[in-house]
Chains A and B, each alone.
Chain A
Amino acid sequence: MTLSLRSEISEPGRATMHVAGRLDAMTFGELDQAMQQLLPKVADGGTMVVDLAGLEYVSSAGLRSFAKIRKAMKARGGQTLLIHPQPQVRKVFDIVKAVPLSEVFSSTQELDAYLDSMQRKVLEENDDL
């Protein structure tokens, strides 16, 4: 079973990449390519959500791909959030401490709650200004 990717842009500031299958040294290139196309479509300061619901397996090559996405988003003032990591993925993340725990969500509700709170924070900051 190889990698399958599907992306959607729900709003200008937010894009979601659904990753499924196996992300390893063989397939990570596909993800990198897909992201190169998707990233410019996200506004600066936006949010990239990577949905790992279908990802069964990740190796260090896949970790590097995630790192690249996060770097690119960070450079543009945005953030990358990972959602629905499966057991193997979570285990690998844990071992190498790949991403901050605050950016990994096990459900859509958690993610939405987080995004809402972020939005409120931004609004409050604007009010302060």
Chain B
Amino acid sequence: MVMRSIASRMALWVLAGSALVLGLIGIWLLDLTRAQILEHTHHEAAALAANAGSQIQNRLDRVAVSARIVSSMIATQPGDAEQLLRDALKANTDLSGMAAAFKPLLVQAHPDMHSPFVSRGDDGKVISRDLLEDTGSYAEQTWFLGGLSCSAGCWQRPFFSKSRHRQLINYSFVIDRDNHPVGIINADVTLDWLHKILASVDKPPGAYVFVLDSDGNYLAHDNPNLLSKRADTPILKLLASDRPTSARLPVAQNTQARGPVWIYSEPIDGTRWRLGLAIPEIQIYAGVRHIFLLSLALGLLALFGVAMMTLLIIRRMMAPLGVLADRAAHVARGELDFELPAVKHHDEVGSLTKSFDRMRHELALHMEDLARVAREKQRLASELEIAHQIQIGLLPNEHYFDINCTSFELHAALRPARAVGGDLYSYFMLDATRLYVLVGDVSDKGIPAALFMAQTITLAKSLAPRAPSPDIMLQLLNQELCRGNDSCMFVTLLCGLLDTGNGEITLASAGHEPPVLCSSSVTRLIEVETGSVLGLNEDASYPRHRMTMQPGQTLVLYTDGITEASNHEQQMYGLERTIECLSKIPQEAAPEGYIRQLIADMDQFVADAPQFDDITALALSWHGSKPEVTQLLIDNQLAGVFAALDQCDEMLAAAGTSPLLRDDIRLVLEELLVNTVSYGYPDARAAQISLQLEIGTGAITIELADDAAAFDPLQSEPPELTGDIADREDVGGLGVHLVRTLTSEMRYTHTDTGNHLQLRFNHPFEERS
């Protein structure tokens, strides 16, 4: 959560980056400082060691000088040896004892000579004795023999004097007479002063000083445990040199020192002693480490401060961004009216805020634009919808059968690819017996095609009275359409004129698809010789094709929208499939059945591929010539009505009408006739109702005529059906509702002779197929 903020991430990175840089520089500085400190320490320690060495040297030199003086004096006055020794002992407190040992043979030769040994007692008193009186002669002892060979004087090995309870070393110097060694001066030196000197060395804390004798044993050491012990090989190796040296030992022999130590050695001239100053490395760097840790802590503190400041500053700078992000969410919701943070600085955030403001304004304009375009689009869509309605209005009903003329039936379907299209169909009665049928396809699609289609349909109707046959109709239509057709649109048209009396049909085609004739035996294409399309060539003429339809035959007219309908594999439905589909439909099927099945088959073939062209199909069935009409005259009494009902029922039964349809017809007639005799004659006069029954192959038509009070069953309000007629106060209106529901078609006219009601009952399709 915290890390999501740029400010905190920035602060963290600043902290991390600075810490890294600081750390690297610190390590480098530490390294440099350490080197310098080390060098400095080397100098200091070397000086210290040299100083301590020279102090020791001085003391030793004094002993040596005393011994030499005494030696030279004793050489001339051997009898005063004891006194001389005593004086020397008094003069030099470092001396613990001093002996003048002559060769025993020489002493025996001179009775005034003896080998005195003067020593300082524990109480400080000087006592003396004659060495010759000691048990066992010293003449054979190493200190004496060694001393004799040391003409220039030499320091012997240290030893522990049991009589004086301390460690001593002695310095031997030859007593020389006439260039002959006659004895030696042996000066015993205590090492107390050595310890004092070492203790007085101004060494850094933790450091320690030691002195090694010629054998590599510790003569003196700040750590008393190591006294008289042999030094480690690395130390010996290091101190083997005659010159002052320094070296680093990874591990010190002195257990009081931890870690590696630096050893600085100083040779003590005249002896083969070495003075060593040992400083633990940890002590050398203690100061710098302390400073470094302090600097590190301070540095980290400073970095933390910097990070905090970065955090605060960036937070302050980024604050407007948070507001902008929130406002962007507003924009996403389409709300553009909001406050933006004030622009305080003309930096990136400031310019972003300004851009945001500009974006909001431009977005508002853009949205307004969009809304206007959408409104425009909607208006266009609604206009298109209206155009579609108008175009549909131009087309006659999909289904047509004439109550006056039962010998034919017609069904058409038109499905535009867009809201409006260029396909057309039309039909109308030219006179009482002849029917014009037209199916056409305008060259384009969309609104121009729709306008051209509207022009064609309207012209065809208005030109029909002047066109006794389809070829003349096409010729007239062509001439009219060519006029002012600068856009060179054209229409293909198939025009037929059916004589409903005898089934004779005349066809003329203007470049249109040939029709298909369906009969029980064979379904075939009618090859109609075509003229040129309408609208292009003013002088075109059109050949005429005559044929006679047999009762029950159906002629199917269509546009290329059917045959050229394509599926996803770009295969076209085609003429062959069209004919095959039509041939499978039973001949008795109504025209509606033909159209439905053809379009359903095509739809199945096309599946859900988009429709590119308008689709139109029209089926025209001829049922045969007009059947016989039976007229009944009915008395306006219930008895008369029911007698007529029975008579009708018998006639229908004789004609093979299905019992269900007979029941329907009986019910309709009963309702209408009972209605008429019950309410039509309020004056109760005797009258007759005429009933004309015509039993056709496609339908049964009945015409009722009476002079009763005018009553149009089509105009009465449909009853309110609550689901329970017992609820209703008035149960009237049910009969008329039944009539309207059960008749296929009903037409009412009122003339001066009275009411005329025409009823049509179609044979149920299921019954026939």
Q: Are B737 and A95 in contact (CB under 8 A)?
A: yes
B667 touches A92 (CB 8 A): yes
Do B726 and A97 touch across chains, with their CB atoms under 8 A apart? no
Complex CA distance for A88 and B674, rounded to whole angstroms: 19
Q: How far is the CA of A96 from the CA of B733 in the complex (A)?
A: 10
Within 8 A of B (CB), among A9-65: 24-26, 56-57, 59-61, 63-64
B738 → chain A closest CB, angstroms:
6
Name the residue of chain A whose CB is nearest to the CB of B666: A57
* Contact, CB under 8 Å: A99 / B671: no
Q: Which of B280-288, B477-485, B715-723 faces chain A?
A: B715-723
Contacts of A100 in B (CB 8 A): 723-724
In the bound complex, how far is the Cα of B505 from the Cα of A97, in angstroms? 47
Q: Name the contact of B738 in the complex, choosing from A70, A74, A96 (C-beta under 8 A).
A: A96
Q: Mask for B655-699, Cβ within 8 A of A = 1, else 0?
A: 000001001001100110010001000000000000000000000
Please report the C-alpha to C-alpha distance between residue A67 and residue B663 in the assembled complex, in whole angstroms: 22
A84-111 CB contacts (< 8 Å) to partner B: 87-88, 92, 95-100
- In the complex with contacts A57-B666, A59-B671, A87-B660, A99-B724 CB distance below 8 A: yes
CA distance A84 to B447 in the complex (A): 59
Contacts A70-B726, A98-B725 given; indicate if A63 touches B731 (C-beta within 8 A): yes
A87 vs B664: C-alpha distance when bound (angstroms): 11
In the bound complex, residues from chain B placing their C-beta under 8 Å from that of A61 are 674
Residue numbers in B under 8 Å from A67 (CB-CB): 725-726, 728, 731
- Answer yes or no: B741 CB below 8 A from chain A CBs: yes
A2 to chain B, nearest CB (A): 10
Task: Tell me the number of A-to-B contacts counted with CB atoms below 8 Å.
Answer: 73
Chain B positions 443 through 457: 1 when the CB is less than 8 Å from some CB of chain A, otherwise 0 = 000000000000000
In the assembled complex, how far is the CB of residue B722 from the closest CB belonging to chain A, in whole angstroms?
A: 7
Q: Which residue of A lies closest to B742 (CB)?
A: A95
Task: Find out whether the CB atom of B735 lies under 8 angstroms from the CB atom of A74.
Answer: no
A71 within 8 A of B: yes
Partner of A26, one of B638, B724, B731: B638
Q: Is the CB of A25 within 8 A of B674?
A: yes
Beyond A26-B642, A88-B660, A95-B737, whether A60 also contacts B671 by CB under 8 A is yes
B666 / chain A contacts, CB cutoff of 8 Å = 57
Contacts of A66 in B (CB 8 A): 725-726
A59 touches B667 (CB 8 A): yes
**Contacting residues, chain A, for B724 (C-beta < 8 A):** 70, 97-100
Is B734's CB within 8 Å of the partner chain A?
A: yes
From A59, A74, A92, A95, residue with most partner B Cβ within 10 Å: A59
Chain B contacts with A in 527-584, Cβ cutoff 8 A: none
The distance from the CB of A83 to the nearest CB of chain B, in whole angstroms, is: 17
**A25-B674, A70-B726 known; A96 and B721 CB under 8 Å?**
yes
**CB–CB B741/A95 < 8 A:** yes
- List residues of chain A with CB within 8 A of the CB of B639: 26
Q: Is the CB of A96 within 8 A of B663?
A: no
Q: Contact: A25 with B670, CB < 8 Å?
A: yes
Smallest CB separation, B678 vs chain A (Å): 8
CA distance in complex: A96, B735 (Å)? 9
Partner of B735 from A60, A71, A99 at Cβ < 8 Å: A60
In whole Å, how far is B711's beta carbon from the nearest beta carbon of chain A?
15
Of all chain B residues, the one with the shortest Cβ separation from A93 is B725
Residues in A neighbouring B674, C-beta threshold 8 A = 24-25, 59, 61
Q: Is the CB of B726 within 8 A of A99?
A: yes
Q: In the complex, A99 Cα to B728 Cα: how many Å? A: 11
Please tell me if the beta carbons of A92 and B726 are within 8 angstroms of each other in the complex.
no
- B residues in contact with A87, CB < 8 Å: 660
Interface residues of B in 610-663 (CB under 8 A from A): 638-639, 641-642, 660, 663
Q: How far apart sit A57 and B731, CA to CA, in the bound complex (Å)?
A: 19
Question: In the complex, what residue of chain B is closest to A68 when comparing beta carbons?
Answer: B726
Contact partner, B734, options A25, A74, A96, A99, Cβ 8 Å: A96
Chain A residues within 8 Å of B734, by CB? 60, 63-64, 96, 98
Query: Which of A61, A66, A70, A74 has the most chain B CB atoms closer than 10 A to its own CB?
Result: A61
When C-beta atoms are compared, the residue in chain A nearest to B736 turns out to be: A60
**Once the chains are docked, how many angstroms separate the CA of A26 from the CA of B638?**
7
Q: How far is the CB of A55 from chain B (nearest CB, A)?
A: 12
In the complex the two chains form, is B721's CB within 8 Å of A57's CB?
no
Cα distance A61–B667 in the bound complex, in angstroms: 11
Bound form: Cα–Cα A26–B677 in Å: 12
Chain B residues with CB under 8 Å of A92's CB are 667, 738
Which one, A60, A63, A88, contacts B663 given CB within 8 A?
A88
> Is the CB–CB distance between A25 and B638 below 8 Å?
yes
Q: Which residues of B contact A71 (CB under 8 A)?
A: 726
- In the complex, chain A residues whose CB is within 8 Å of the CB of B738: 59-60, 92, 95-96
- Residue of B with least CB distance to A69: B726
Q: How far is the CA of A95 from the CA of B641 in the complex (A)?
A: 24
B725→A99 contact, CB < 8 A: yes
Residues of B within 8 A of A25 (CB): 638, 641-642, 670, 674, 678
Q: Which residues of A contact B726 (CB under 8 A)?
A: 66-67, 70-71, 74, 99
Knowing A95-B738, A96-B719 touch, does A63 contact B725 (C-beta < 8 A)? yes
Contact of B731 among A64, A74, A99 (CB under 8 A): A64
CB distance from B672 to the nearest CB of A (A): 11
Contact B670 A97 (CB under 8 A): no
Residues of chain A within 8 A (CB-CB) of B723 are 97, 100
* Among B728, B735, B741, contact of A59 (Cβ-Cβ < 8 Å): B735
Pair A97/B731 contact, Cβ less than 8 Å: no
Please report which residues of chain B, range 719-755, place their CB below 8 angstroms from some CB of chain A when the two chains form the complex.
719, 721-726, 728, 731, 734-735, 737-738, 741-742
Closest residue of chain A to B670 (Cβ to Cβ) is A59
CB distance from B88 to the nearest CB of A (A): 147
**Are A96 and B638 neighbours in the complex by a CB distance under 8 Å?**
no
Interface centre among B642, B723, B725, B738 (most CB of A within 10 A): B725
- Could you show 24 A-B contacts with beta carbons less than 8 Å apart? A24-B670, A25-B670, A26-B639, A26-B642, A59-B674, A59-B738, A60-B671, A60-B734, A60-B735, A61-B674, A64-B725, A67-B725, A67-B726, A67-B728, A67-B731, A71-B726, A88-B663, A92-B738, A95-B738, A95-B741, A96-B737, A97-B722, A99-B724, A99-B726
Given contacts A63-B725, A95-B742, A96-B719, 9 further A-B contacts (CB under 8 A): A24-B642, A59-B667, A60-B671, A60-B738, A66-B726, A95-B741, A98-B725, A99-B726, A100-B723
Residue numbers of B with Cβ under 8 A of A are 638-639, 641-642, 660, 663, 666-667, 670-671, 674, 678, 719, 721-726, 728, 731, 734-735, 737-738, 741-742
Identify the 7 closest CB pairs spanning chains A and B, nearest first: A60-B735, A70-B726, A25-B674, A97-B721, A60-B734, A67-B726, A88-B663
